[in-house]
Structure 1
Amino acid sequence: MMHYGFCHIAIAPLRKENSEQSEQVSQLIFGDVFSVLDRNNGRILVQTFDDSYIGWVDEKQVIALNAHEYESYTQTSKQFVKEAISYVFQTNTVTGEKIIYPVYLGSQVVSPKFQLNKIVFEIAESSLTKNLNISSLHLTTIALKYLSAPYLWGGKSLFGIDCSGLTQMCFKQIGVHLLRDASEQITQGEEVENLASAQKADLCFFTNNEGKVVHVGIYLGKNQIIHSSGQVRIDSIDEKGIFRTDTHIYTHNLYKIKRYL
């Protein structure tokens, strides 16, 4: 039985239940690793290393790791794909088979060339970040790369991303690990008193009419916020919430602001 694994394709849906028709609650993207909790009918229940999220994934979309590979990979610093799309060359050292896979912005590797299981992975060094730059400017620069990406529940890529997926992926690429959902991310960081005290890269959280945290976005400064709502977009924000200038309505009620840098 597989005990640990690695996502070797661009995106693999992580589902709530053990069914292809089940709700996508998140995604594995290339470079993500996980431990295996259960296996049933060709699908495995996994817990991701980065954020401890649990969901079902098709085992054909991942490869197995042994305990040594898993520990070594998780303890090694990462580099991130900085381009919208790059390509990974995968060579099976036993069969000699070579396959090219696309990988997307934010995918992680331990080096431009590395081996896991029986597969050698190679990606152009020019596609990767050289070193982690933990700054608000770098974070917001990354966030702007996602502009116009379509909204997708559970998504974490340029081809579909939800609000907390956007915040998590942006912080991940500067070496800061956030939990997966907005309701979890709000438990991290330091609280900011009000919008007037907010700084670039703070996260703004929003509630529904029942008071439940349902949305999050990245503050850009000067009363602007980037968030995923329909698509990744920039809107105005004030103490009341997000105001869309195209429709002239408030779409989200501001609840709390948190700082992570």
Structure 2
Amino acid sequence: MPDNPDRRLNAYRPDLAEEALRDVVDATRYVGGTPARIAIAITPLRARPDESCGIDTELLYGEPLRVLDRADGWAWIKSELDGYVGYLPEAAIAAGDDAADHMVVAPRSFVYRDADLKTPVRFALSMGSRLRVAGEAETRGTRYLALSGGGFVVAAHCRPLDAAPEADYVAVAARLVETPYLWGGRSGFGIDCSGLVQLSMMLAGQQVPRDSDMQAAELGDPIGRDALRRGDLVFWKGHVAIMEDAHTILHANGHTMSVAREGLEQAIERIGWLYQQPTGYRRP
């Protein structure tokens, strides 16, 4: 490990560090962290406990994490899914892992007060949210899942975590076309380029790194441009796109401010002034 471990994936400060870094970094004390989960629909994760600090990434409802420290209304945490470290509001988490057994697979869904789509909505959920189901109900032919924390969600918008994953992550990404672009976003309400890759691959049963530089270094194998096919990834410095076919990409981008389809050649020409030429091509 380098002298200065990546702060995105390694929790360390002069006063405190995660136990796994005991022999790597100097800190006053080391902790293993306590299990918790996200208790609201979406929460930003920041590099500092400061609302004015930009968003690094987001955590979704029900996702597991470890709390390393709490102070002044903030929790310093590490995600159990992708290892990302940062600060989020203490009010956004609930103690205990309360192991989820279902996942939302629709781009967006709602938690209703009762098992009836005509009743008030308690809150909205993104694709990738994790749920603990306590029972089922049916109203006028629509089946609902009763959540352990209260409320009901349409069963067709979810799948059990132990069910077979999506067969084609590109098809998942395509369901998010026109989702607004959001720097640091990784939800059906707003998403960035690497968030699109991570979220769609997660539904296909593959846990991948969060940021595009991590994906470019670790995800799959390098290939040549002439070998590109559906499912391959194209990387620029600071950007990533998914090949929908040999000539078309899907990507969350700041040009359309959305998840959009674009011809690969047109994209290379259009964004060359900002990202220059692609830095690599990889096959997950």
Shorter-chain TM-score range: 0.7 to 0.9
CA drift of 1:251 comes to 5.7
| Matching residue within 126, 129, 154 for 1:107 | 129
Matched with 1:161 is 191
Q: State the AA in 2 paired with 1:170.
A: S
Count of residue correspondences = 230
CA distance in 2, matches of 1:243, 1:180: 26
2:221 aligned residue: 191
CA distance in 2, matches of 1:105, 1:204: 24
Cα distance 1:39–1:23, how it changes in 2: closer, same or farther (>3 A)? same
Equivalent in 130, 133, 140 of residue 165 of structure 2:
133
Contact 1:241 1:251 in 2 (8 A): no
The question of 1:173 aligning with 2:203 is answered yes
Q: Which amino acid aligns with 1:242?
A: I
2:125 counterpart letter in structure 1 = V
TM-score (norm 2): 0.72
**TM-fit CA distance, 1:82:** 2.5
Superposed CA deviations along residues 38-80 of structure 1, whole A, max 9, x for unmatched, are 1110100110011000111101122111xxxx3x72xx7x543
1:228 matched to 2:258: no
Secondary structure of residue in 1 paired with 2:278:
strand
Which amino acid is the alignment partner of residue 48 of structure 2? Answer: E
Aligned residue in 2 for 1:150? 180
Contact 2:228 2:246 in 1 (8 A): no
Instruction: Determine if contact 1:242/1:251 at 8 Å carries over to the other structure.
Output: no
Range that drifts further, 40-49 or 120-129: 120-129
Distance 1:31 1:249, change over 3 A: same
1:53 aligns with 2:84: yes
Distance 1:241 1:232, change over 3 A: closer
Q: Is the 8 A contact 1:39 1:45 kept in 2?
A: yes
User: Is the contact made by 1:80 and 1:109 (CA closer than 8 Å) also made in structure 2?
Assistant: yes
Higher RCO (C-alpha under 8 Å, 6+ residues apart): 1
Amino acid at match of 1:254: P
Q: Secondary structure at the match of 1:216?
A: strand
User: Aligned residue for 2:11?
Assistant: none
Quote the offset at 1:250 in angstroms: 6.6
Task: Evaluate the alpha carbon distance shift between residue 162 and residue 18 of structure 1 in structure 2; reply closer, same or farther with a 3 A threshold.
Answer: same
Report the structure, 1 or 2, having the larger strand content.
Answer: 1
**For 1:158-181, what per-residue CA distance to the aligned partner results, in whole angstroms no more than 9, with x for missing partners?**
322111111101101111001110
One-letter code aligned to 2:74: R
- 1:223 counterpart letter in structure 2: H
Q: What is aligned with 2:281?
A: 257
Contact 1:154 1:162 in 2 (8 A): yes
Residues 17-32 of structure 1 mapped to structure 2, 5 A cutoff: 17-32=48-63
Q: How far apart in 1 are the matches of 2:79 and 2:262?
A: 32
> Which of 105, 111, 115 is the matching residue for 1:88?
111
Alignment partner for residue 242 of structure 1, among 268, 271, 277?
268
Q: CA deviation at 1:23?
A: 1.3
Judged with a 3 Å threshold, the aligned counterparts in structure 2 of structure 1 residues 249 and 190 are, in CA distance, closer, same or farther, namely closer
Secondary structure class of the residue paired with 2:56: strand
Classify the secondary structure of the residue corresponding to 2:205.
Answer: coil
Q: Hey, what's the Cα distance between the residues in 1 that align with 2:212 and 2:273?
A: 19
Q: Would you say the 8 A contact 1:7–1:61 is kept in 2?
A: yes
Bigger radius of gyration: 2
What residue in structure 2 maps to residue 94 of structure 1? none
Structure 2 unmatched runs, 5+: 1-32, 115-119, 134-144
Unpaired segments ≥5 residues, structure 1: 92-97, 208-213
